Amino acid sequence: MQEHILNQVYNMPEVHTVIIDFSGVTHVRDQSEELLQGLYQSLKLLGISTMLTGVTPILAQKLVTNSTRIQLDRIYSTLKMAVRVLIEENE
């Protein structure tokens, strides 16, 4: 998945931000943090910012309990909030 995202973004120079949406996700594997951080770092090297959305209270609690450190540019509770911010920034 990471390779596909990176190739798609690289071939679309008009893309400035990638939204990673966790809506509906209730379980996160231990490897997920590493994969997410790898994607973030790779996108950063391409000059792409990232937004994480859809983090529910249950998922947030699990991530904190597992001591997961998520480093992304911006985090929003809903996809709608993130899209609204992007629209406002581009007006």
- Interatomic CA distance for residues 33 and 69, integer angstroms: 7
At 69 the pLDDT is: 66
At 32 the pLDDT is: 72
At 70 the pLDDT is: 67
Give residue limits of the domains in the chain. Answer: 19-89
User: Cβ–Cβ contacts within 10 Å for residue 17, how many?
Assistant: 17
| Residue bearing the bigger pLDDT, 79 or 91 | 79
Long-range CB contacts (within 8 A, 24+) of 6-12:
6/39, 6/42, 6/43, 6/46, 9/43, 9/46, 9/48, 10/46
- Interatomic CA distance for residues 80 and 72, integer angstroms: 18
Q: Is the pLDDT of residue 16 over 70?
A: yes
DSSP label of 29: -
- Interatomic CA distance for residues 54 and 56, integer angstroms: 6
| Residue bearing the bigger pLDDT, 53 or 34 | 53
Tell me the mean pLDDT in the region 6-24.
91
